[in-house]
């Protein structure tokens, strides 16, 4: 009995010791404070804390102030990228139907004399499909079976290209918040300064033109066939 009593007392003492240690560990965990490893100022590009909205401002935008014909052209960002506007645009924007100051210098017939970038042939080309309404239904105005195309090159600036500032914009000379490491690869030697659009390139990659894509007599003979070249396979 004495032995059993000693064993029981030993178990009780051990249990009390374990409970006591656990309690001290819990108290230590409650007192421990996790210190922040990242400051609020380093969370974004603004470099200020999250509570100073009234005093946090972005870098000042500084557009070029050189007058047209005296400015230096800005290299294109990539092949055939819309050129940036290097000169002052005060008084030129917004562009309106009856007031487009850009064409005074950039039309192809005057651009060389003005030292300006000429408007490319693509801006004089109508790429938009033409249709007419017949009995409330839109009907195509071209006959694909006669190898007609919807692309029409004209001699006036297309309405889709009339608003120059939709693609072309002045460039700010301010300091970049993040360094730009992009390196363009141009497909032509003068790609940084000149567009590659020419008299035929705007149709080179279209399926509606070219000897290989013309509708042939064989195509016409099979146009109503379920497995014909024009109708596609019937599945």
d(CA 161, CA 9): 96
Residues 4-16 pLDDT 10s: 544 555 544 555 5
d(CA 74, CA 90): 18
Q: Name the pLDDT band for 150 (thresholds 50, 70, 90).
A: confident
d(CA 77, CA 106): 20
More confident residue, 55 or 132: 132
Q: Residue 45: which of 179, 180, 181, 177 has the closest Cα?
A: 177
More confident residue, 170 or 59: 170
d(CA 165, CA 93): 8
Beta strand 152-153 pairing with 137-140: unpaired
Q: What is the pLDDT of residue 231?
A: 47
d(CA 218, CA 45): 64
Q: Name the pLDDT band for 234 (thresholds 50, 70, 90).
A: very low
Residue 105's SS3 state is: helix
Average pLDDT over residues 105-116: 93
Contact 87, 173 (CB under 8 A): no
Within its chain, how far is the Cα of 133 from the centroid? 35
Average pLDDT over residues 99-119: 93
Largest Cα separation within the chain, whole Å, is: 120
Backbone dihedral angles phi then psi of residue 57, each to the nearest 5 degrees: -130, 155
Q: What is the pLDDT of residue 205?
A: 56
Q: State the average pLDDT for the chain.
A: 77
Average pLDDT over residues 194-207: 67
Contact 166, 174 (CB under 8 A): no
Residues 4-54 pLDDT 10s: 544 555 544 555 555 555 555 555 556 677 776 777 777 777 777 777 777
Average pLDDT over residues 145-157: 79
Q: What is the pLDDT of residue 58?
A: 75
Residues 122-142 pLDDT 10s: 899 888 877 888 898 888 887
């Amino acid at each position: 009995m004495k032995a059993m009593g000693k064993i029981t007392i030993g178990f009780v003492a051990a249990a009390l010791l374990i409970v006591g240690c656990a309690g001290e560990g819990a108290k230590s965990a409650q007192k421990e404070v996790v210190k922040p490893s990242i400051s609020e100022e380093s969370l974004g590009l603004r470099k200020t804390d999250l509570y100073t909205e009234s005093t946090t401002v972005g870098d000042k935008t500084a557009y070029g102030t050189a007058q047209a014909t005296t400015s230096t052209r800005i290299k294109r960002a990539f092949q055939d990228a819309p050129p940036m506007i290097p000169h002052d645009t005060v008084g030129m924007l917004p562009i309106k139907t009856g007031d487009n100051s850009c064409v005074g210098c950039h039309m192809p017939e005057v651009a060389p004399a003005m030292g300006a970038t000429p408007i490319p042939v693509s801006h004089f080309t109508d790429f938009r499909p033409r249709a007419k309404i017949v009995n409330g239904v839109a009907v195509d105005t071209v006959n694909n079976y006669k190898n007609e195309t919807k692309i029409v090159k004209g001699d006036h600036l297309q309405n889709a290209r009339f608003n120059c500032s939709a693609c072309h914009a002045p460039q700010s000379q301010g300091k970049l918040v993040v360094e730009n490491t992009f390196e363009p690869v141009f497909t032509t030697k003068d790609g940084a300064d000149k567009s590659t659009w020419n008299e035929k390139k705007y149709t080179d990659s279209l399926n509606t033109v070219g000897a290989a894509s013309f509708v042939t007599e064989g195509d016409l003979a099979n146009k109503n066939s379920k497995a014909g070249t024009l109708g596609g396979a019937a599945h």
